[in-house]
Structure 1
Amino acid sequence: MLAEVVRSDEYAAPTAPLTLIVGELDRTGFVRKYNELWSERTGLPVRWVEGAAHNSNADNPAAVNAIIEEALGGN
């Protein structure tokens, strides 16, 4: 589904603040490519989680939590 959205010009722009969170070591399918493209098309920030792969919230929970808190205006 994400692949279809990224390739389409008919995606819905987010109506709420949104941050893309991706593990810097994620090699699952086209996750990295699709997030980079989505960021380019929408201007949404991509935050890369150091030392994390596809399950970045399990690989580096402190970093993911910090990114979420910052996105919510906590830091």
Structure 2
Amino acid sequence: MSLPLRITFEDNDYTIFVLTKSIDKQTTLIRISLDGREYELAPNARGEWNVNDATVHDQPGLLKAIARNVALRYRL
């Protein structure tokens, strides 16, 4: 497991663990862990990173912010 990444969203702090090893520009899938649940991030047709398997109960705004944060952190 990698070092934790922190994000603040709507005045709440969250800790994310990036489970995918060796991320670079050719990476097409990133696995993360948030609150004990695993999610997969993948780029869409416009190059924006989104969560593939998000449900209504998963706070889509938070997951979109996390995807953007991870993409910026790894310069994707």
Structure label with greater radius of gyration: 1
Q: Which has the higher contact order (CA 8 A, sep 6+)?
A: 1
Q: TM-score, normalised by structure 1?
A: 0.28
- More strand as a share of residues: 2
- More helix as a share of residues: 1
Q: TM-score, normalised by structure 2?
A: 0.27
